[in-house]
A and B are shown apart, each in its own frame.
Chain A
């Protein structure tokens, strides 16, 4: 619930950002730098740039509320449409990566904590120490080199499907889901193969911090007084490790997962660039480099909103998991 003021702050911030951008915003929201003077004047009036700033803010908020984020110079469409078209691609990538990361990292962390000082533990710690050091774009490129160039296992790392396969009927926008829903297993396989490498790249980035926090949290949990009590009355190994230690240990991991997701939204930019993935981040990046600012503003707003929603989800999940916290 405390995220709502944050969302408002985000809106105000992006508004200010627009005012700070070099050049005349009206020009950018018109059809291009070569727009005629009357057109620019009309746009200026429409945007309310001749009005005092507080009033402009209100207009801006009203526009956003109606879903009007301006128009992109590159695509010629409204930013809202562009973002809506491309969002599923980014989400599919990020969510798959998160899934891979959590499924790998949490067991790793737990096993490392159960056998401290063992080879597994040292291995996990080494992996974590190195994992946070490698930049996403480097690991992505190196993965391409190994799996595409050297081993030939991965397909051409460009885009979501190859040129031969046609898109499934759009239901969720998630290609893997849509192919399955359409019963098209060949198509699903193609989409899956294209998805694996970028998802792995992004997952690698976050496996390290997730495993590290799981391990640390599990160690604390296993060494706590209440686990000692559980042992003192002879509870079974499973009950001690899973019901007592792990359930407590998972609480900080939930919080960190939320933060990790936010980092991934940022890393999206890098991964989409490396793999030419047609998501919102590469859209915004291309716009930015061509001085097309409306998409950038829309993208920033979108990312922040997603993060606020995720934060809320995390808070709710945490509130369910921990009875000491009131939602």
Chain B
């Protein structure tokens, strides 16, 4: 008993939503493509992403090098493909951590109210007082210039959004009839929050998560652009833009444009998918 999402029905419903919403279908395929590239990237890349070949430096895109070469003669396209994995892993881990921690904390705060709620509310206010990018910078500086710390920093700065969001959503629902009915049917407060309120808040949170994934990718890329986190020669979209930035005034556009385009595409797919996910998870859309 409980969430009655039988696998067959969900799949059929998903297909129905995707048919009616071509944009979401495209976004979903985009995301799947990204995941596939992330998994198989290194194997399908035509060149070794770190192999430098200075004689071929700074070549514009051609049939040999689909995205041109960078200042060390490395193939841009291969680097793009391989970078997908790193960027996605960072984003997914960061959002995952902050979602789990934030949603549970926020839900209990929204439900319980009182002193705990106020204290956590203060904490969230303080955290949101920092321009978040600055805070990430400070955290990475304090903890060390490593990829794990980028994940932690991104997760940490994401936390207040989930806490606030979950808190607000639960607050709206906590006095609704069916919540009281669950209590009258013998559920304790804790099980009401964990088994009933949180799953009910899930569709709204899923939209938030998808948007967050896009934002986390941008954030991670931004941090590596300014030199924090990922170091050369590791291929990562932000670093690629940083390295290409030097050459933009001399017209070598492909070094910035291609990773920029990859970033944009990834974020776009996640954003569009977020809107589509809301329709799938909300059983009210089922007929």
Q: A residues within 8 Å of B by Cβ? A: 2-3, 5-7, 9-10, 13-14, 17, 20-22, 129-130, 132-139, 141-142, 144-145, 148-150, 156-157, 262-267, 269-270, 273-274, 284-285, 288-289, 293, 296, 299-300, 303-304, 307-308, 311
Stretch at the interface among B129-137, B182-190, B196-204: B129-137
Given contacts A269-B133, A307-B131, contact A145 B141 (CB under 8 A): no
List 19 contacting pairs A-B, 8 Å CB cutoff, sorted by A.
A3-B125, A5-B126, A6-B129, A10-B130, A135-B260, A137-B242, A138-B263, A138-B264, A149-B248, A149-B250, A262-B131, A262-B132, A263-B132, A265-B134, A266-B133, A269-B137, A270-B225, A285-B137, A300-B135
By beta carbon, the residue of chain A nearest B214 is A133
Q: Is the CB of B222 within 8 A of A129?
A: no
User: Which of B142, B238, B267, B271 gathers most chain A CB within 10 Å?
Assistant: B142
B138 CB, nearest partner CB in chain A, Å: 5
Asked if B256 is an interface residue, CB under 8 A from chain A, the answer is yes
Q: Is the CB of A303 within 8 A of B134?
A: yes
Asked if B249 is an interface residue, CB under 8 A from chain A, the answer is yes
Asked if B221 is an interface residue, CB under 8 A from chain A, the answer is yes
A22 to B226, CA, bound (A): 20
A13 to B127, CA, bound (A): 9
List the 6 shortest-distance A-B pairs measured between CB atoms, nearest first: A266-B133, A9-B126, A138-B260, A266-B131, A265-B131, A133-B267
Q: Is the CB of A273 within 8 A of B226?
A: yes
Q: Is the CB of A129 within 8 A of B271?
A: yes
A13 to B259, CA, bound (A): 35
Q: Is the CB of B134 within 8 A of A133?
A: no
Contacts of B141 in A (CB 8 A): 21, 288, 293, 296
Given contacts A5-B122, A270-B225, A296-B138, contact A303 B268 (CB under 8 A): no
Contacts of B225 in A (CB 8 A): 135, 137, 270, 273
Q: Is the CB of B249 within 8 A of A149?
A: yes
Q: Is the CB of A134 within 8 A of B260?
A: yes
Per-position binary interface string of chain B over residues 265-277, scored 1 when its CB falls under 8 Å from any chain A CB and 0 otherwise? 1011001100000
Asked if B143 is an interface residue, CB under 8 A from chain A, the answer is yes
Q: Is the CB of B132 within 8 A of A266?
A: yes
**Chain B residues within 8 Å of chain A by Cβ, number:** 47
Q: B residues within 8 Å of A by Cβ? A: 122-123, 125-126, 128-135, 137-138, 141-144, 214, 218, 221-222, 225-228, 238, 241-242, 244-245, 248-251, 253, 256-257, 259-260, 263-265, 267-268, 271-272
Contacts of A10 in B (CB 8 A): 126, 129-130
Contacts of B218 in A (CB 8 A): 135
Given contacts A20-B143, A129-B272, contact A142 B256 (CB under 8 A): yes
Q: Is the CB of B142 within 8 A of A307?
A: no
A311 to B133, CA, bound (A): 17
| Residue in B226, B260, B272 whose beta carbon sits within 8 Å of that of A141 in the complex | B260
Q: Is the CB of A269 within 8 A of B226?
A: yes
A176 to B256, CA, bound (A): 31
Given contacts A142-B257, A288-B141, A300-B135, contact A130 B241 (CB under 8 A): no
Q: Is the CB of B241 within 8 A of A138?
A: yes
Given contacts A137-B222, A137-B241, contact A148 B249 (CB under 8 A): yes
By beta carbon, the residue of chain A nearest B242 is A137
Contacts of A137 in B (CB 8 A): 222, 225, 238, 241-242, 245
Contacts of A263 in B (CB 8 A): 131-133
* Inter-chain pairs besides A129-B268, A148-B249, A303-B134, 18 sampled, C-beta below 8 Å: A9-B122, A9-B125, A10-B126, A129-B272, A133-B265, A133-B267, A135-B222, A141-B245, A141-B260, A145-B256, A157-B249, A266-B134, A269-B226, A270-B226, A274-B245, A285-B227, A293-B141, A311-B129
Contacts of A289 in B (CB 8 A): 227
User: Which of A3, A133, A270 gathers most chain B CB within 10 Å?
Assistant: A133
A137 to B125, CA, bound (A): 28
A213 to B80, CA, bound (A): 34
Contacts of A139 in B (CB 8 A): 260
Q: Is the CB of A307 within 8 A of B268?
A: no
Contacts of A264 in B (CB 8 A): 131
B265 CB, nearest partner CB in chain A, Å: 8
Q: Is the CB of A307 within 8 A of B241?
A: no
Q: Is the CB of A133 within 8 A of B131?
A: no
A282 CB, nearest partner CB in chain B, Å: 9
A132 to B144, CA, bound (A): 29
A295 CB, nearest partner CB in chain B, Å: 11
| Residue in B129, B142, B214, B227 whose beta carbon sits within 8 Å of that of A304 in the complex | B129
By beta carbon, the residue of chain A nearest B123 is A9
Contacts of A130 in B (CB 8 A): 264, 268
Q: Is the CB of B125 within 8 A of A5?
A: yes
Q: Is the CB of B248 within 8 A of A300?
A: no
A201 CB, nearest partner CB in chain B, Å: 13
Contacts of B267 in A (CB 8 A): 132-133
A157 to B245, CA, bound (A): 12
Contacts of A148 in B (CB 8 A): 249
Contacts of B263 in A (CB 8 A): 133-135, 138
A262 to B134, CA, bound (A): 10
A133 to B267, CA, bound (A): 5
A252 CB, nearest partner CB in chain B, Å: 14
Given contacts A138-B241, A145-B253, contact A307 B143 (CB under 8 A): no
Contacts of B222 in A (CB 8 A): 135-137, 269-270
